[in-house]
Amino acid sequence: MASLIGKQLFETSGQGPPPSKDFFQLLITRNEVIWTTWTISLRRECRGAPPKQLKTAHHDFLQDKTLQYDVGTVFGQRILEYTLTLCQGNYDYLERLPDDILLRIISFLELKNTIMLAQVSHRFRMLCNSEKFWEQFVRNHCADFTCDMEGIANAMGWRMTYFTFFHKSGTKE
């Protein structure tokens, strides 16, 4: 599983809360937290100023309440908690699986379970609604599927094929 962890664990960026117009980036690598700030101002002395960057080791971030406060203020409590979790070495391996492996796994679930899974995150919603998922789902769940139907499925779409030919006919999932 360790091979699933790349150099970069998490990245997000965005504008700070009003009234600030400053822009922030949070990057978490395997070894450090990198906090970058771009000051946005109409004042002449601030124009063209380079971004400020703070690099800190994970264990230092866990002790730095000021930086934690800044992350929470800009990106919210949920991102701060996720950052703390990553810095403590707790990784979400399921999130790191490549799409093709996840598609293969979820194609074996029952339809009602994939509907619930699609509500978990944006990524799972995209996967559960993809043509690749529906192709694998039809191939895994529809015993009556024939090679002749493959052309129809490619033309109509795999999801439409499932609901047209298999779901209405009572084929078990």
Enumerate domains of the chain plus CATH numbers. Answer: 2-94 (no CATH), 97-167 (1.20.1280)
Torsion of CA 140, 141, 146, 150, to 10 degrees: -70
- Give pLDDT, residue 33: 97
Residue of 72, 91, 92 whose CA lies nearest to 81: 72
- Give pLDDT, residue 48: 77
pLDDT in tens, 130-154: 999 999 999 888 888 888 888 889 9
Q: How does residue 171 score in pLDDT terms, banded at 50, 70 and 90?
A: very low
- Give pLDDT, residue 86: 93
Question: What is the percent of the chain where pLDDT is above 90?
Answer: 57
- Give pLDDT, residue 96: 74
- Give pLDDT, residue 1: 47
Name the residue with higher pLDDT: 42 or 88. Answer: 88
pLDDT in tens, 30-60: 999 999 999 887 777 777 788 999 999 999 9
Measure the CA–CA gap between 160 and 106, rounded to whole angstroms: 18
Instruction: Identify whether the C-beta of residue 37 lies closer than 8 Å to the C-beta of residue 24.
Output: yes
Instruction: Identify whether the C-beta of residue 134 lies closer than 8 Å to the C-beta of residue 162.
Output: yes
- Give pLDDT, residue 83: 95
Mean pLDDT computed over 2-8:
65
